[in-house]
């Protein structure tokens, strides 16, 4: 056993501990009192953003194949703070947020090709009509 002194500034207590242990305080009370006003250490899954070891740069692919970009201040973000990249690209071009009933169509059908020349925004009814014509054209071939 090794004799150690409590590291809390105003504590004069000593305690015995095996050399392999790293205990620094004589009691839970001293530990708690010493932690008041100190920032909690960042660890585990509480670390968000670029400090997290699993951070992917704020760009992910969702289950439907669309590229999502982290945008926590966007009014149309999902529950995790992400917005589909193709919507952000069109919003930047037109200078305003898209309305919920406005659709961004990928001209070449590739959901990950978010070049502005490949994107066209339209109303939901226009998109439904376009999709119907595209499906009909495939059946005719």
Rounded average pLDDT over 55-79: 90
Q: What's the pLDDT score for residue 43? A: 59
Pairing state of beta strands 59-61 and 67-70?
A: antiparallel
Q: pLDDT tens for residues 97-113?
A: 999 889 999 999 899 99
Q: What's the pLDDT score for residue 42? A: 62
Rounded average pLDDT over 83-87: 96
Which residues are CB-neighbours of 103 under 8 A, at least 6 positions away? 121, 122, 123, 124, 126, 127
Please name which of 126, 136, 85 lies closest in space to residue 103, comparing C-alpha atoms.
126
SS3 at position 67: strand
Model pTM score: 0.60
Rounded average pLDDT over 29-43: 77
Q: What's the pLDDT score for residue 41? A: 64
Task: List domains and CATH numbers for the chain.
Answer: 2-35 (no CATH), 54-140 (3.90.75.20)
Q: What's the pLDDT score for residue 45? A: 57
């Amino acid at each position: 056993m090794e004799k150690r002194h409590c590291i809390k500034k105003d504590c004069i207590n000593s305690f015995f501990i095996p050399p392999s242990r790293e205990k620094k305080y004589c009691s839970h009370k001293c530990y708690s009192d010493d932690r008041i006003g100190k920032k909690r250490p960042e660890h585990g899954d509480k670390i968000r953003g670029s400090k997290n070891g699993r951070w992917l740069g704020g760009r992910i692919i969702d289950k439907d194949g669309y590229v999502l970009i982290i945008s926590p201040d966007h009014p149309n973000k999902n529950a995790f703070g992400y917005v589909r990249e193709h919507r952000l690209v069109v919003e930047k071009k037109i200078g305003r947020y898209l309305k919920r009933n406005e659709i961004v169509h990928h001209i070449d059908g590739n959901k990950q090709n978010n070049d502005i020349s490949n994107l066209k925004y339209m109303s939901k009814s226009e998109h439904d009509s376009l999709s119907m014509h595209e499906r009909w054209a495939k059946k005719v071939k």
